[in-house]
Amino acid sequence: MATKIDYYAVLEVSRDANGDEIKRAYRKLAMKYHPDRNPGDTDAENRFKEINEAYDVLKDDQKRAAYDRFGHAAFEGGGPGAGGFDFGGGGLGDIFEQMFGDMMGGRRGGRRSGADLQVQVTITFAEAFSGVKKKITVPTRVTCESCDGTGSADKDAKPETCPSCHGAGKVRAQQGFFFVERPCPTCHGSGHLIRNPCKECHGTGTVEKNRTIEVAIPAGVEDGTRIRISGEGESGGKGVPAGDLYVHVSVEQHAIFQRDGANIYCRVPVRMAQAALGTEIEVPVVDGSRTKVKIPAGTQTGEHFRLRGKGFSVLRSSARGDMYIQVVVETPRHLTKRQRELLEEFEGDGAGHAKGSPESTGFFSKVKDFFEGKL
């Protein structure tokens, strides 16, 4: 079995990193190793999977606490339905219930299920804003039509109960104080034996097939979001529930807008004269519309102008984020002779400098005090 790398090392963060630090590290690495940016690079693809796996654990306080205490052993077996720990609805106390509960009858009420599947979907910034339906092709296993999922060439024949595990699908062995459970080697975990296996599925009851599924991605979804679609994973055969499908959403960056949670930021350059005299500018909104923003006289670089309710929808809420216009005052280049003369005339009129440029006046006043030993 391959040794797993420490999740903190995967995300290149310290073990005491907070949630924001972990999120920033994940976004940086996911962008760097995303398959779309590294086509055909197997190493980058594997690294991307490791990054997503690590972030899925460390972003969740309960999963992280379990990982800090038990390491990778807390998640061995592939998660719910396969011997791992499920953090979907309880605290750390559930770990022990699941650890020893498997020995007393298994997960999901003692029923096995098909394997869970994971797929990656990339959407645009605009699609994340408005929500979108995506058709995805999933390579999976479905119920065999030839035997109706029984695994037997004779549909009327009833499967025989496995004599080794007595239908449980797993066997137990005691090692000191603990019991260790493994899939039954005789029936390979199915709990029964097929004497005359189906030629199409070779007795498994399922066959490989590509399925097309339409996934509804809600408005406001963030990069790295995982959507669970119950029952759309691999078929477990007749009488066995299918696994789940997990859709990992990747959101493309935008050329104009940046996002922070539900808020949107737009960096808008404004000419020096416009910032000094005041102006009105027209800016784009992510929904495709336009709006006008008044820039008051004397606006400085870094000032923000808020457009309420123009941001992203908040998932599972009717709330909306805001849009912020970030002003960048642009210094002119390649001046004409006349422009230079006007600026020199303006600069030469020092009477209004203290009032018109209070920041620079105050700063250089402090610099003077510093050199005179007053600060």
Among residues of the chain, what percentage have pLDDT more than 70?
83
pLDDT given for residue 251 in this prediction: 93
The pLDDT tens digits for 333-353 are: 889 999 999 988 887 776 555
Question: How far is Cα 189 from Cα 4, in angstroms, rounded to an integer?
Answer: 26
Shortest CA distance to 233 belongs to which of 355, 139, 374?
A: 139
> Is residue 1's pLDDT more than 50?
no
Average pLDDT of span 85-114: 42
pLDDT in tens, 26-52: 988 988 888 878 888 888 888 888 898
Question: What's the whole-number mean pLDDT along residues 276-302?
Answer: 92
- The answer to whether the pTM exceeds 0.75 is no
Domain spanning 257-371: CATH 3.40.50.720: no
Task: Please provide the CATH number assigned to the domain covering 113-159+194-252.
Answer: 2.60.260.20
Q: Is the pLDDT of residue 203 over 80?
A: no
Residue whose token pair is 């039509």? 145
Residues tagged in the binding site annotation: 144, 147, 162, 165, 184, 187, 198, 201
Is pLDDT above 50 for 101?
Answer: no
> Is residue 132 pLDDT above 50, yes or no?
yes
Q: Give the start-to-end residue ranges of the domains of the chain.
A: 113-159+194-252, 257-371
Four-point Cα dihedral 250, 256, 259, 265, nearest 10: 180
Instruction: Count the neighbouring beta carbons within 10 Å of the beta carbon of residue 356.
Output: 14
The residue ranking higher by pLDDT, 130 or 192, is: 130
Query: Long-range contacts: 165-173, Cβ < 8 Å, 24+?
Result: 165/191, 167/191, 167/192, 168/106, 169/112, 170/106, 172/103
- What pLDDT, on the 0 to 100 scale, is given for residue 93? 35
State the pLDDT at residue 86.
40
For the ranges 60-64, 83-87, 241-245, which has the lowest average pLDDT? 83-87
Is there a common fold for 113-159+194-252 and 257-371? yes
Backbone phi and psi for residue 250, each to the nearest 5 degrees, phi listed first:
-115, 125
List the binding residues for Zn(2+): 144, 147, 162, 165, 184, 187, 198, 201
